[in-house]
Structure 1
Amino acid sequence: MVLTEEMTLVERAMEAIRQRIAGRTLVPGAKLPSIRRFAEDMQVSKSTVVEAYDRLSAEGIIISRPGSGFYVAGQLAPLSLAEIGPKLDREVDPLWVSRQSLEAGGDFLKPGCGWMPASWMPETSIRKALRSLSRANDTILTEYGSPLGLSELRQFLARRAAGYGIDASPDQIILTGSGTQAIDQLCRFLLEPGHCVVVDDPCYFNFHALLRAHRAKVVSVPFTPNGPDIRAFEQALIEHKPKLYITNSGLHNPTGATLSPVVAHRVLKLAEQHNLTIIEDDIFADLEHEHAPRYAAFDGLERVVHIGSFSKTLSASVRCGYIIARPDWIDGLADLRIATSFGAGHFSAELVLSVLKDGSYRKHLDALKTKLADTMGTTAARLNKLGIKPWIEPRGGMFLWCELPQGVNASDLAQRALARDVILAPGSVFSITQSADNYIRFNAAQSQNPRIFGVLEDLLR
């Protein structure tokens, strides 16, 4: 971080000390300037320095020795590349895009990340809900929620699922900390180390990382504009006898493709024949212009588990996801919830419910989808000019799955772009078979800065 005019005087004083520590001007155990001296150096009041030192002490960066002054705390950590720039030497693996996107500073452009710009989210509705919750009773503000989660939100989600043709009672829904936690809980519930899991190729890169953590054997089948390649899917079931198939329903990540009814019926028929459970991640549901088929709607939740969250359209900071499953699994999932995270997030659930019940959320979604449609067209046109061709024209969402010009390796391009403060999502991180080295995923919502295309043009020369 650097000193900026937007900082308060206290923040500027704190940052000045942090920079001296980072630059080794102040080493562990070194005494800080006196309050009077530092106030003179910074041209601020002594009370400003007192508050700055108190806040740095609360963060554990410095310590106070009564009667002596303030000193730098702790031992000096080894010099990290994260302190001086992007991790250019990190191998491009399934966690690469997430790590770079989450850890990068504000100067980085992130057309490879998987979320909306902050300015596109319903900040006004969230603040309104927070004000309302600030006046709530102590139970909401301080206590654990039930293992299943807030009853009113589960009732809302049951009505919402019915709009997609999924018939489920509130008692078939369990809230989780996020969509990712929902998949993690289901993997804990259904898998043993060594079990086989089928994924799409390409698929959401965090599926790879999560399944690796569960020590599962992962096989993939090619994904087409209408869903998984049926012949390859059947062959994988015969050959590997997988326990699970994890996929996106609605809008597919990273391709933006939409499942067709014919393919959905064939997949479900094969799942029944081979005793396969399907986890469909429906995290992009609210970004559709028209509802695509859902496996859970056709299956009646016999072999399909439906999950989702609101991180893409409401807030990634408010962690709240859900699982919709067959009735006889809910007690087991609730017990697992207690064992791994105890109670549900009461405050987050109340906040999400408050925003979803606000009539402004539907208006927000309508405006968001319109903005995404416009942005998608603009981004595709800019990419086409560079010889980067979208695989399909998605029916909604934020992602464009694109083929690079012949001879361009996506991982190499992403590493070189990172040195220019642009984070890309190379196709290799989405592909178990590493068969997408000439593809790349663009988030149209995060691709509005012209500098992105200037950097790409330079790197593609």
Structure 2
Amino acid sequence: MRTIEANCIGQESGTMATNMLETRTGQVMHVIRDRIERRTLTPGARLPSVRAMAETIGFSKSTVVEAYDRLAADGTIRSRPGSGFYVASPLAPLALDRLGGAVEREVDPLWMLRQSLADGGKRIKPGCGWLPDEWLAGDAIRKGLRAAARDTRDRALTGYASPQGSLPLRALLARRLAGQGVDAAPDQILLTDSSTHALDLVCRFLLEPGDTVLVDDPCYFNFLALLRAHRVKVVGVAMTPTGPDVAAFAAALAEHRPRFYLTNSAVHNPTGVTLTATTAHKLLKLADAHDLVIVEDDIFADFEHAIAPRLAAFDGLDRVIRIGSFSKSVSAAIRCGHIAARPDWVEALADLRIATSMSGNPLSADLLHGVLTDGSYRRHVETLRARLARAMARTVKRLRAVGIEPWIEPDAGIFLWARLPDGMDAVTLARAALAEGIVLAPGNVFSTSGAWSDYLRFNVAMCDDEALFAFLGGACRSVG
């Protein structure tokens, strides 16, 4: 006789068997875990015997044995010799989405990132901040991993990194910075886990709770989230097509006496603006007069067709700290960023890194160095620039066709900042889009002022799905 549990699992076996991307063993494990999570199988409940389960689902007994053994190995179930398998206890807390509909979160600086990362790759993501996987340097990474596996030296696989990180990679980064006009010796560079980690270290180094930081308005949304975590006051300076509004910048310095100014200068996120040399000189003069530190995030450098002005180049890393990574052009999975700054600041930042996260990942540093020095990387970047240019032109045309107007047409990069037709609210549209499996990036998550509530940021590399423009066209026509 079948147990009640066997009947329940039998009802799901049709769905289980249709998942051809998962092994049969994995399918059995998935169904058992699912019923445990839903509390259909409770702690102490006996599972169907191997024979009964195999007969119910139509799989072999060896498949069921392997599934039960794996579930026992990870503590989901336990074996009682001579009696069978039982649900282990205690259970994990019941997920909210098992109780009913998902909790609706406020559309804040982390909302869009959560939507993009939590979907398992099923959604259309014109609002995300990265390239499609197939656009990245997967082949070069696989080549680097094979080389690492063949290397008889174990340090990169098992050891700690030096305090500032791999010297070969720092020397390479110094040469690359020189190509952008930034004069930095290898001992002025500290490797970090990512550009976000780099910024977090800088914030720990420079800020106290209650300090003020200037940002662009709009700016990269995670700047706002990270600064909020450091409990500081954030003041926005209006962005223009040539960089931040210089008069507003001067007024903010006089009124708020900020500790530092945080920006993207070469390829601005989210607007795609390129800072002009004239604006850069004016900003640095004001910074010098007010003893202001500038933190320049430059993670999109490889997408440029021509080298744009850099605050770090004009300043010589005196009061400018330059941070970056290759997560956008190489791989988000290789967590390796960097900070370039004055030698005394780098030494203090390295101490802070050791105190908070020990040392870096030597395997990631070696992989990144291998990819960047592989002869294929230059061709990879050239291909990316060409693909992005085509995607930018195509997206501009298609957005205008449905009534959405770009603020500017960027010279490079992946982002397009665009205004919705009159009467449309970006947050309302983003919520409606999410119900259709589309992740949009509403303007308010990038803004300290709320002045961009009718704007969206589009990632042009993710705007090739017809469903996106069908949705946008229908939404825009509804207010026309």
TM beyond 0.5? yes
Deviations 1:130-169 (A, max 9, x none): 1111122221111111120111100110000000000010
1:249 aligns with 2:274: no
Deviations 1:251-274 (A, max 9, x none): 000001100000000000000000
Deviations 1:406-454 (A, max 9, x none): 0100011111111111111000000011111000001111111111112
Deviations 1:81-130 (A, max 9, x none): 38877x56110011111111111133211111101111111111111111
* Superposed counterparts of 1:117-128, under 5 Å: 117-128=132-143
- Between the two proteins, the alignment pairs up a number of residues equal to 460
AA partner of residue 342 (structure 1): M
Deviations 1:172-206 (A, max 9, x none): 00000000000000000011111110000000000
**Residue number among 90, 93, 100 corresponding to 1:77 in the alignment:** 93
Q: Which has the larger radius of gyration?
A: 2
1:176 aligns with 2:192: yes
**Residue number among 37, 62, 66 corresponding to 1:47 in the alignment:** 62
What root-mean-square deviation, in Å, do the aligned CA atoms of Structure 1 and Structure 2 show? Answer: 1.8
SS in 2 for 1:200: strand
AA partner of residue 50 (structure 2): I
Preserved CA contact (<8 Å) 2:38 2:98: no
* Superposed counterparts of 1:388-407, under 5 Å: 388-407=404-423
Aligned counterpart, 2:367: 351
CA distance in 2, matches of 1:109, 1:84: 24
Aligned counterpart, 1:269: 285
- Check 1:455–1:269 CA distance in 2 against 1; reply closer, same or farther (3 A cut): same
CA distance in 2, matches of 1:384, 1:262: 31
1:30 aligns with 2:45: yes
Deviations 1:16-63 (A, max 9, x none): 223333444323432222222223333223332233233334444334
Q: Which moved more, 1:100-109 or 1:420-429?
A: 100-109
SS in 2 for 1:221: strand
The offset of 1:234, in angstroms, is 0.2
Aligned counterpart, 2:223: 207
- Check 1:407–1:57 CA distance in 2 against 1; reply closer, same or farther (3 A cut): farther
CA distance in 2, matches of 1:209, 1:386: 32
1:111 aligns with 2:121: no
- Check 1:268–1:132 CA distance in 2 against 1; reply closer, same or farther (3 A cut): same
Preserved CA contact (<8 Å) 1:196 1:217: yes
SS in 1 for 2:324: strand
Preserved CA contact (<8 Å) 1:27 1:76: no
**Residue number among 376, 387, 390 corresponding to 1:360 in the alignment:** 376
CA distance in 2, matches of 1:333, 1:131: 33
Preserved CA contact (<8 Å) 1:65 1:71: yes
CA distance in 2, matches of 1:182, 1:94: 19
CA distance in 2, matches of 1:88, 1:404: 27
AA partner of residue 189 (structure 1): F
CA distance in 1, matches of 2:388, 2:100: 34
Preserved CA contact (<8 Å) 1:249 1:282: yes
When normalised by structure 1's length, the TM-score is 0.96
SS in 1 for 2:199: helix
1:149 aligns with 2:165: yes
**Residue number among 372, 381, 397 corresponding to 2:397 in the alignment:** 381
CA distance in 1, matches of 2:415, 2:21: 33
Aligned counterpart, 2:11: none
CA distance in 2, matches of 1:203, 1:262: 21
CA distance in 1, matches of 2:273, 2:100: 39
Deviations 1:272-326 (A, max 9, x none): 0001000000010111111111101000000100010011011111111000000
**Unaligned ranges ≥5, structure 2:** 1-14
Aligned counterpart, 1:446: 462
**Residue number among 99, 105, 114 corresponding to 2:114 in the alignment:** 99
Q: Which moved more, 1:382-391 or 1:256-265?
A: 382-391
CA distance in 1, matches of 2:80, 2:310: 63
Deviations 1:198-217 (A, max 9, x none): 00000000000000010111
Preserved CA contact (<8 Å) 1:230 1:263: yes
Q: Percent identity?
A: 56
